[in-house]
Structure 1
Amino acid sequence: MTSIGQIAFDLPGLDTGPDLASYRWILANVSGGKDSAAMLYELVRQADAADVPRDRIVCVHADLGRAEWEGTRELAAEHAAAYGLRFEVVARIGLDLVDRIAERGMFPDASNRWCTSDFKRGPVRRLMTALVREAENAGHLGRVRILNVMGLRADESPARRKLLAFSHDGALTCPCRDCVLRRAALESAERRGVPCPKDKKTGHGASNTLRHVDTWHPVHSWSTNDVWAAVKRSGLRPHPAYAAGMPRLSCSFCVLASRPALVRAAQLRPELAAEYAAIEEKTGHRFQNDVSMAEIIAEAADASSEVTAIPCWSG
């Protein structure tokens, strides 16, 4: 079973990873975090081994505004520059994440992660559109093949454990054989008035009539120790938030974070914590269902509450 938008192909070679040389563009999603750095290291290693020109690799950073740790965007650019790779920044048009939360009057949560779709997936797809035009202007004929590469790992959550390391990002408008068959199954189910099985749905991925998009998670099976070992080998600089005790470089205050991680973040970024508490008070919507930011701030301010051995979180 795969997540919506990911399609498993029963074809030779798919389980062993992508043919990197077959893509016009390889889009590396760089966050500045440890998994991102390990992914970039492994991607470049395999691309060099496959004689893929580095000018086909484009690093993209989805900028979340002040919800990110300070210096994250600059660090992502530094990681790309270490390999001589092109670096692009994308962002949602309009308000940054903090102001958008205030405007919506609600925080994202595990069942409604609109922050990911609005601030990461959507902006990255706009870059894909621009890259297609760039290839066409350079004389490319036919659909443009894009490999979307991310540093998601199975250890991070049950949902990510279910992801395929390599999959097709299928969609209703994708003309590939597999998506055509899936559309036929969906139309047949609709005619019969029965639900279409989830594993038969096409999904709402990034592919369309102009581009064929596959998704690759090269470090999907890696452990945290594997990741840090690769970061050490790469020579890339980790973000200072790790040394300060944070186990992940997500948003400074991720709605899925563990309570100790939120407390430590509030100690490191008290002004942003106060902004979230003000949003809670104004909207009446808690940061997490069972935890308010006001409670986190109070715990962070307690001189006796030393935050050690901060657990990671799932999601």
Structure 2
Amino acid sequence: MTFSPVQDRAFLDTMIDRGAVFYLSHSGGKDSQAMYAILCRIIPHRQVCVVHADLGKIEWTGVQDHIRATITHPLNVVRAGKTFFEMVRHRNRTRPDVPPWPSSATRQCTSDLKRGPIQKFIRHDMKARGAKLAVNVTGIRWAEGPARAKRKPVTVNATLSKAGREVYDYMPILALSEAEVFQTIATVGQKPFHAYSRNKRLSCVFCIMGCENDLAHGADQRPDLYREYLDLEDETGWTMFNGQSLRERIEGVRSNQEQAA
């Protein structure tokens, strides 16, 4: 296989020549895995830094072991100063009139638990290296949804481009299809994370953006965590999915499976 071309190769080559540090955000999912495999054939090893935002017990067990097994760089693990459950409880306590759960419109789980800690790491790591130029790389693809279909390959990261730093956000695999992602992983002799045996996506075990199939798989694998989510719905008085509970979404799948059997 010839690896699919990355988006805006001229930008990538320029950043390499200028000695930029490339911070690759790695969730453990298929897109991150394929992105890493492609870019590590282009970017010099010394210019790559891999970062994972640890979500604690709400992320799939073993995902960090999977990342370490499929990369040749050290894995830098960052954590927010709060957990997902603490975030929901705090919002419920301070804003009892609005839904405390994240949604597609208010994705504080992404901003607070992932993007924030990763950007903090980039600032500190650049300072430690004495670096002034960096690229924040993510494995987002256009085919994943209407919102992501509007993304541009390269943008200036205004939050990080301060205090003498020059930082860009870069999405190199925007044009790849799902089939190309899995093919890329297979071509380098690897397999995707085991949850893909049933899952369409890999994020939190119970993601607000997850389909019924993925949510049911999570409940099968982590019944203890499933119970905690249901208890938190009861505690806050709000359902996780805009008027529909996590139980309703999962039990609907299980009912259909039983009927099919």
Is TM (by shorter chain) over 0.5? Answer: yes
Normalising to structure 1: TM-score of the pair?
Answer: 0.72
User: Hey, what does 1:198 align to over in structure 2?
Assistant: none
Query: 2:42 is paired with a residue of what secondary structure?
Result: helix
Identity, % of aligned positions:
29
Residue 216 of structure 1: which of 170, 188, 207 is its match?
A: 170
Whole-angstrom CA distance in 1 between matches of 2:149 and 2:9: 15
Determine whether 1:287 maps to 2:229: no
Determine whether 1:253 maps to 2:249: no
CA shift for structure 1 position 301: 5.5
User: Hey, what does 2:54 align to over in structure 1?
Assistant: 63
Query: 1:249 is paired with a residue of what secondary structure?
Result: coil
Whole-angstrom CA distance in 2 between matches of 1:25 and 1:148: 9
User: Hey, what does 1:164 align to over in structure 2?
Assistant: 152
Whole-angstrom CA distance in 1 between matches of 2:122 and 2:179: 32
Residue 127 of structure 2: which of 104, 118, 133 is its match?
A: 133
Which one-letter code corresponds to 1:281 in the other structure?
D
CA shift for structure 1 position 285: 1.1
Residue 77 of structure 1: which of 50, 68, 81 is its match?
A: 68
User: Hey, what does 1:195 align to over in structure 2?
Assistant: none
User: Hey, what does 1:232 align to over in structure 2?
Assistant: 186
Alpha carbons of 1:15 and 1:287: their partners in 2 closer, same or farther (altered >3 Å)? same
Where do 5+ consecutive residues of structure 2 fail to align? 1-6, 93-99
Cα deviation, 1:203-260, whole Å, max 9, x if unaligned, reads: xx321123111111111100000100001012233211011x1111111111011223
Whole-angstrom CA distance in 2 between matches of 1:224 and 1:297: 25
Residue 111 of structure 1: which of 105, 108, 112 is its match?
A: 105
Determine whether 1:262 maps to 2:253: no
Asked if the contact 1:37/1:236 (under 8 Å) is kept, the reply is no
Q: 232-241 or 260-269, which moves further after superposition? A: 260-269
Determine whether 1:155 maps to 2:143: yes
CA shift for structure 1 position 302: 4.3
Which one-letter code corresponds to 2:89 in the other structure?
A
CA shift for structure 1 position 270: 1.7
Alpha carbons of 1:260 and 1:291: their partners in 2 closer, same or farther (altered >3 Å)? farther
Cα deviation, 1:103-126, whole Å, max 9, x if unaligned, reads: 433210011000111011110111
